[in-house]
């Protein structure tokens, strides 16, 4: 190992887009046959660096070496010829076509030659078998699960005999089970001698999977570490650039008035349902709902926010809400905002009839702009441009704006669904603080999250939703990852 040259080596690489410096003086190396984590917050320059390795961008300075040879790639084709493959965050797959055709596209051949489907299918099946992948090559991509689509992407790379694999945020779209499968597959690839670079901002995954890790911050590599010699807390500090506070235990007491009461709720839309569930939240209490996605969380949220979303026959039970309700949806871009409209319009959504912002048929634009500006100030939303289109903000800043919209109205009941999905560590800490503040001000909070860590950090008690039922309840004193995880899987 010592004598062989690194599989990948960045030496003083920099990259600028116009005046904007995305990478400067990036230096790190990856030994062959290892898994290397590239971590950092959104916009820290991880993707830019990997795109240079994959030939999509050209470095403005410095040099990249692949197996000791300078890598001077004009395009991703050059990178692929150098046996480098990349799985992009958004898959490069045509959905109406079969997995096989998607892989065949990569292969060279003259325009009017016939596609060697049969022969290639056998070959690909063999490669898949060798690495223990389960893939139905004849299935259309749109009929495959996200995890299976990802396997198609990886198989595509393997079929090109790539030795170096780059994965961009591969777990962002996967369920916990699929993440486990992916990690197993990656370990197997490593055992076969492949070199893997994985971009992520989930530090637990870095600890579980990688051999070494490079931490990016503001376009630079701030640390190269052996994974075994570091910790989640260390990495988090390196990523954010300051020490994250340990969340304090609450000092306020849970109130006595009930702010949200759900009684014998049975509701369903399509295959998703909840059955005969009951729930009570006091003022100043955070109740967490744990569960693998698709076990009824979406139905519970919908029932609380909008009973009219259900057919009459599909809804029974009673929901009592005492006071104003503020909420942020699990998928902000789909349910919570108008992505192509400016920030202030999105901030106004839901409050557009409030006398503060409306007078008769007209909006008080000055007030709206001022309120948006104040909210951006308070929540440190960057850039501070009220008129910028919502989708031009980064994920963390989008979410801050959505959270600000809900919490700044001082609601008595808060429905917080996936409050930190796709959000940086720094922003996560901030949003968690705001939810705690809201609680301390007396709001009852229903917290729905797929991140167990988040639930355990915030909740006073956790209810586990499984196939539409509450199957277990854990008070804060008996939080424990393993038993909650088991209840989420149906065993309790």
Which residues of the chain form contacts with other proteins (CB under 8 A)?
75-77, 92-97, 101-102, 104-106, 108-115
| Residue nearer to other proteins on the CB measure, 52 or 348 | 52
Dihedrals phi, psi of 364, to nearest 5 degrees: -90, 90
CB of 193 to other proteins, least distance (A): 25
Q: Which residues contact 147 (CB under 8 A, 6 or more apart)?
A: 174, 175, 178, 181, 182
Task: Considering the complex, state which of residue 53 and residue 368 has its C-beta at the smaller distance from other proteins.
Answer: 53
Distance of CA 216 to the CA centre of its chain: 18
Smallest gap from Cβ 146 to other proteins, in A, equals 16
Select from 349, 392, 355, 395 the least CA-distant residue to 372: 349
- For other proteins, the closer of residues 105 and 208 by Cβ is 105
Task: Tell me whether residue 92 or residue 233 sits nearer to other proteins (CB atom).
Answer: 92
Q: How far is the CB of 71 from other proteins (least distance, A)?
A: 17
Residue 81 or 184: the one with the smaller Cβ distance to other proteins is 81
Residue closer to other proteins (CB basis): 41 or 153: 153
Contact (Cβ atoms closer than 8 angstroms) between residue 13 and residue 23: yes
Smaller CB distance to other proteins: residue 151 or 461? 151
Least distance in angstroms from the C-beta of 94 to other proteins: 4
- Taking residue 10's Cβ as centre, other Cβ atoms within 10 Å add up to 24
**Cα(79)–Cα(237) distance, rounded to whole angstroms?**
33
What secondary structure, in 3-state letters, does 125-180 show?
A: HHHHHHCCCCCCCCCEHHHCCHHHHHHHHHHHHHCCCCCEEEEECCCCCCCHHHHH
Cα distances from 227 to residues 179, 214, 233, 424, in angstroms, run 19, 9, 12, 21
Please tell me what DSSP assigns to residue 115: P
Nearest to 286 by CA among 267, 260, 263, 304: 260
Give the nearest distance from C-beta 154 to other proteins in angstroms.
15
Least CB distance to other proteins at residue 371 (A): 36
Residue 458 Cβ vs other proteins, minimum distance, rounded to whole Å:
39
């Amino acid at each position: 190992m010592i004598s062989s040259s690194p599989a990948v080596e960045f030496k003083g690489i920099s990259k600028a887009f116009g005046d904007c410096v995305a990478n400067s003086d990036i230096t790190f190396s990856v030994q062959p046959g290892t898994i290397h984590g590239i971590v950092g917050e959104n916009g820290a320059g991880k993707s830019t660096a990997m795109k240079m390795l994959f030939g999509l961008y050209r470095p403005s300075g410095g040099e990249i070496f692949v197996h000791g040879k300078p890598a001077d790639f004009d395009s991703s084709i050059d990178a692929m010829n150098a046996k480098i493959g990349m799985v992009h965050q958004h898959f490069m797959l045509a959905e109406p076509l079969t997995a096989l055709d998607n892989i065949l596209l990569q292969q060279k051949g003259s325009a009017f030659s016939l596609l060697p489907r049969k022969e290639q299918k056998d070959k690909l099946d063999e490669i898949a078998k060798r690495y223990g992948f389960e893939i139905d090559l004849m299935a259309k991509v749109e009929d495959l699960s996200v995890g299976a689509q990802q396997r198609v992407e990886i198989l595509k790379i393997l079929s090109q005999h790539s030795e170096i694999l780059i994965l961009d945020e591969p777990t962002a779209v996967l369920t916990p089970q699929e993440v486990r499968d992916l990690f197993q597959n990656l370990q197997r690839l490593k055992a076969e001698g492949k070199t893997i670079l994985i971009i992520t901002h989930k530090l637990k995954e870095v600890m579980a999977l990688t051999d070494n890790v490079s931490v990016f911050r503001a376009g630079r590599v701030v640390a190269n570490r052996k994974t075994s010699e570091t910790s989640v807390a260390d990495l988090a500090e390196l990523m954010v650039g300051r020490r994250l506070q340990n969340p304090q235990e609450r000092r306020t007491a849970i109130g006595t008035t009930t702010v949200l009461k759900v009684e014998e709720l049975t509701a369903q839309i399509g295959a998703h349902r909840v059955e005969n569930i009951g729930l009570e939240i006091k003022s100043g209490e955070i109740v967490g709902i744990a569960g693998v996605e698709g076990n009824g969380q979406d139905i519970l949220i919908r029932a609380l926010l909008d009973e009219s979303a259900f057919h009459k026959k599909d809804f029974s039970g009673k929901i009592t809400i005492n006071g104003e309700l503020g909420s942020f949806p699990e998928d902000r871009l789909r349910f919570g905002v108008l992505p192509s409209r400016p920030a202030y319009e999105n901030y106004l959504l839901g409050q557009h009839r409030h006398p503060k912002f409306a007078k008769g048929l007209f909006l008080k634009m000055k007030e709206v702009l001022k309120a948006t500006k104040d909210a951006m100030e308070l929540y440190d939303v960057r850039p501070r441009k009220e008129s910028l289109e919502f989708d031009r903000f980064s994920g963390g800043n989008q979410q801050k704006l959505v959270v600000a919209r809900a919490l700044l109205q001082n609601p008595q009941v808060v429905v917080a669904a996936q409050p930190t999905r796709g959000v940086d560590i720094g922003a996560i800490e901030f949003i968690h603080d705001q939810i705690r503040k809201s609680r301390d001000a007396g709001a009852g909070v229903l917290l729905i999250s797929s991140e167990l860590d988040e639930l355990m950090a915030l909740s006073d008690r956790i209810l586990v939703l499984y196939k539409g039922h509450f199957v277990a309840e854990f008070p804060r004193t008996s939080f424990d990852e393993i038993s909650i995880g088991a209840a989420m899987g149906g065993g309790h």
